[in-house]
């Protein structure tokens, strides 16, 4: 197997060489999605289970499309329509899925570490599709792919990640990934939304959006993770938007070639002005397109494919 480990659980533990292999492989799969017949026989006979304990549009759909474009059989399980509602534990669910002998299990869970536990329980490859506020490795990989394809390189770029840093698994995975690939990362947001260990991650920390975006190459806006907040971290959405909603004047501070990114779903007018989300600097929908290619690459590499 070209990847050292059987699972993709986080960017923190993924060597730079493997990130590069995944991005290169993903680029080679982009063309399949532009064909009239969007299917290759590469994973015929393989079975992928998408086990989602949290809501998802982009990640779940793109894993399903990725599997189908590679001719794998893909099965989607939502916690709300599974025996989880009858009280079945994750471990029992895992053992039962393992008994059906799939090749890859993709899991999203509200608990940090749930994919790691699953990976220890089953012999199949496990892909983390987002665990609590810990990591969202496939989002970071598609973000890295998008930046590399638009800028030609990641090394030496200045990237600002803005918003709810404390509750964002996207921020955490991107901080690891961008730094490994040689980018300089600044994070910005309300002080109440900064994790305590943020300085230890080697990033610049700002509370001013204006300061954070000045002179950067990439601005990555984050969704406010209300589902992970146990208390109010800012007085109101209106006041949050006054300080942290990305608008035209922020892009002017960054420069003409700045890329605007957002993992989605977007809160328009709160995190990002609609004209910026839909404007010429935005690569938000390219991120979604690249998500299919990255997930095709991971399914292919984890099931024994060569680069
Ligand atoms: N970016 C992302 O994870 O979106 P979904 O929650 O829709 O999968």
List, for residues 263-301, the tens digit of each pLDDT value. Answer: 999 999 999 999 999 999 999 999 999 999 999 999 999
Cα-to-centroid distance, 81 and ligand 1 (Å)? 19
pLDDT of residue 224: 86
Q: Are 218 and 144 a contacting pair, CB within 8 Å?
A: no
Nearest alpha-carbon partner for 106 in 137, 84, 143: 137
As a residue count, the chain comes to: 307
pLDDT of residue 137: 98
pLDDT of residue 165: 95
Cα-to-centroid distance, 129 and ligand 1 (Å)? 9
pLDDT of residue 307: 55
- Which ligand 1 atom sits closest to the C-alpha of 59? 8
pLDDT of residue 90: 92
pLDDT of residue 228: 61
CA angle at 198 for the pair 258 and 274, rounded to the nearest 5°:
35
pLDDT of residue 231: 64
Average pLDDT, consecutive stretches of 10 residues, N- to C-terminus, the chain (307 residues): 91 97 97 95 97 96 98 95 91 94 97 96 97 97 98 98 95 98 97 91 96 98 77 78 96 95 96 97 98 98 82
CA atoms within 13 A on the CB side of 227: 10
Helix (H, G, I), strand (E, B) or coil at 306: coil
Find the catalytic residue in 25, 47, 59, 186. 59
Nearest alpha-carbon partner for 157 in 203, 210, 218, 209: 218
Nearest alpha-carbon partner for 78 in 109, 48, 47, 99: 109
Distance separating alpha carbons of residues 278 and 169, to the nearest angstrom: 24
Distance separating alpha carbons of residues 299 and 63, to the nearest angstrom: 9
Any atom of ligand 1 within 6 Å of the Cβ of 137: no
Distance separating alpha carbons of residues 77 and 79, to the nearest angstrom: 6
Nearest alpha-carbon partner for 53 in 126, 127, 129: 129
List, for residues 232-258, the tens digit of each pLDDT value. Answer: 777 788 889 999 999 999 999 998 899
Distance separating alpha carbons of residues 256 and 47, to the nearest angstrom: 45
Return the HEC string of 33-91. HHCCCCCCCCCCCCEEEEEECCCCCHHHHHHHHHHHHCCCEEEEEEHHHCHHHHCCCHH
pLDDT of residue 199: 87
Pocket test for ligand 1, best of 265, 290, 294 (most atoms within 8 A of CB): 265
Whether 136 is a known active-site residue: answer: yes
pLDDT of residue 1: 63
Output 251-256 pairs: Cβ under 8 A, ≥24 positions apart.
251/213, 251/219, 251/276, 251/281, 253/210, 253/213, 253/214, 253/215, 254/160, 254/213, 254/214, 254/215, 254/216, 254/217, 254/219, 255/215, 255/216, 255/217
Whether 5 is a known active-site residue: answer: no
pLDDT of residue 229: 63
Number of alpha helices (DSSP H) and beta strands (DSSP E) in the chain: 11, 9
Q: Are 8 and 302 a contacting pair, CB within 8 Å?
A: yes
pLDDT of residue 234: 72
**Beta-carbon count within 10 A of 274 CB:** 10
């Amino acid at each position: 197997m070209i990847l050292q480990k059987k699972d993709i659980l986080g960017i923190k533990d993924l060597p730079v060489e493997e990130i590069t292999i995944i991005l290169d492989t993903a680029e080679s799969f982009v063309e399949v999605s532009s064909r009239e017949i969007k299917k290759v026989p590469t994973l015929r006979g393989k079975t992928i289970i998408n086990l989602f304990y949290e809501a998802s549009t982009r990640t779940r759909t793109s894993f399903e499309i990725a599997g189908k474009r590679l001719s794998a059989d893909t099965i989607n399980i939502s916690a709300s329509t599974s025996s989880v509602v009858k009280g079945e534990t994750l471990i029992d669910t895992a053992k039962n899925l393992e008994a059906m002998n799939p090749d890859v299990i993709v899991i999203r869970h509200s608990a940090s570490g749930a994919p790691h536990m699953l990976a220890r329980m089953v012999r199949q490859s496990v892909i983390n599709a987002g665990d609590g506020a810990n990591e969202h490795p496939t989002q970071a990989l598609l973000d890295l792919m998008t930046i590399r394809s638009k800028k030609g390189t990641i090394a030496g770029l200045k990237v600002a990640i803005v918003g709810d840093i404390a509750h964002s698994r996207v921020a955490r995975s991107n901080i690891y990934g961008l730094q490994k690939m040689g980018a300089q990362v600044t994070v910005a947001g309300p002080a109440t939304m900064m994790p305590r260990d943020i300085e230890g991650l080697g990033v610049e920390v700002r509370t001013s959006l204006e300061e954070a975006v000045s002179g950067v190459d990439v601005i990555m806006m984050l969704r406010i993770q209300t589902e992970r907040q146990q208390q109010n971290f800012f007085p109101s959405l209106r006041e949050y938007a006054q300080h942290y909603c990305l608008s035209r004047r922020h892009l002017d501070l960054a420069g003409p070639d700045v890329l605007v990114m957002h993992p989605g779903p977007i809160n328009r007018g709160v995190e990002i002005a609609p004209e910026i989300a839909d404007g010429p600097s935005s690569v938000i929908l390219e991120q979604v397109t690249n998500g299919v290619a990255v997930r095709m690459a991971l399914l292919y590499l984890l099931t024994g494919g060569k680069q």
